[in-house]
Amino acid sequence: MDWWVWVLIAIGAVALVSAIVQMTEKVAAVTRDISEDGEDMAPGWILRCTRCQAWRPASEAGAVRLGAASKGKRTVSRCSACGRLAWVAIEKGPGPEGKRRIDERTNESIWPETLSRA
């Protein structure tokens, strides 16, 4: 290859990296604005450990799911309830009935019957 082909490849790579950085900064700015306003970053989404079935709201775990839709989404994460690496299901809707929930501040299990019905 000629030297000018390498120059064009380098210019294209720099332009691509620059575009990715700009898009990432824009997304980060939007999420910062939303979190500073105190809005829920993942309204209606929960994270459920597929090993022990413990769950927590996704916003408490720091997840961002704005305008998201998925079916059967899973990610590998360390469960705060059982302490092991496990597949964590990202699901829409309220937590499973009768299943324990993890309190983000104390990292302790909360069983549904101990929650106050307001």
Query: Measured between alpha carbons, how far is 24 from 28 in angstroms, rounded to an integer?
Result: 6
Is 56 in the same domain as 97?
Answer: yes
Q: 94 CB contacts (<8 Å, ≥6 apart)?
A: 46
Is 23 in the same domain as 54?
Answer: no
Residue 113, pLDDT score: 45
72: tokens are 């059967």
Residue 37, pLDDT score: 65
Residue 18, pLDDT score: 96
Number of domains in the chain: 2
Is 22 in the same domain as 78?
Answer: no
Q: What is the DSSP letter of 37?
A: T
Query: For residues 7 and 69, which has the higher predicted lDDT (pLDDT)?
Result: 7
Is 28 in the same domain as 55?
Answer: no
Is 49 in the same domain as 100?
Answer: yes
Percent of the chain's residues with pLDDT above 70: 71
Q: What is the DSSP letter of 65?
A: -
Mean pLDDT of 21-42: 77
Is 30 in the same domain as 65?
Answer: no
Q: What is the DSSP letter of 72?
A: S
Is 18 in the same domain as 75?
Answer: no
Comparing CA positions, the residue from 112, 104, 97 lying closest to residue 56 is 104
Is 60 in the same domain as 91?
Answer: yes
Is 58 in the same domain as 110?
Answer: yes
> What is the span of the domain harbouring residue 88?
45-114
Is 7 in the same domain as 27?
Answer: yes
Is 56 in the same domain as 19?
Answer: no
> Hey, which bits of 19-117 come out as E strands?
45-49, 55-57, 73-78, 85-92, 101-102, 109-110
Comparing CA positions, the residue from 50, 46, 45 lying closest to residue 84 is 50
Task: Answer whether residue 6 shows pLDDT above 70.
Answer: yes
**Model pLDDT for residues 77-116, shown as the tens digit of each residue:** 888 788 889 899 888 876 665 555 666 556 566 554 444 4
39: tokens are 């809005």
Is 32 in the same domain as 50?
Answer: no
Residue 38, pLDDT score: 62
